[in-house]
Amino acid sequence: MSALKSAIKLYKDSKKKNGDFSKWSDKQVIGIRDKMRKIARKNRGKWTLEFYESLQLINKESIRRKLQQKTA
């Protein structure tokens, strides 16, 4: 399985397990976001639309909550 597919699977599994973002803890949001960003950096130019959209959603949520690494 490619890294992008595993990142999308991680995001979807977390979304299914925890429900809407409002039910996620700050630590969960930061953890998934950082894992996805790490994969995104390593796979520049290979992103799929699905990966891009899920990364954008989790980034928007972390911005909305004003989350940084030190806030978790």
The pTM for the full model equals: 0.81
Mean of pLDDT values over 26-55: 91
pLDDT at 52 over 90: yes
Per-residue model confidence (pLDDT) at position 71: 55
What is the number of other CB atoms lying within 10 angstroms of the CB of residue 10? 16
pLDDT at 72 over 70: no
Mean of pLDDT values over 55-59: 93
Dihedral through CA 41, CA 43, CA 49, CA 53, nearest 10? -20
Per-residue model confidence (pLDDT) at position 49: 92
pLDDT above 70 covers a percentage of the chain that reads 94
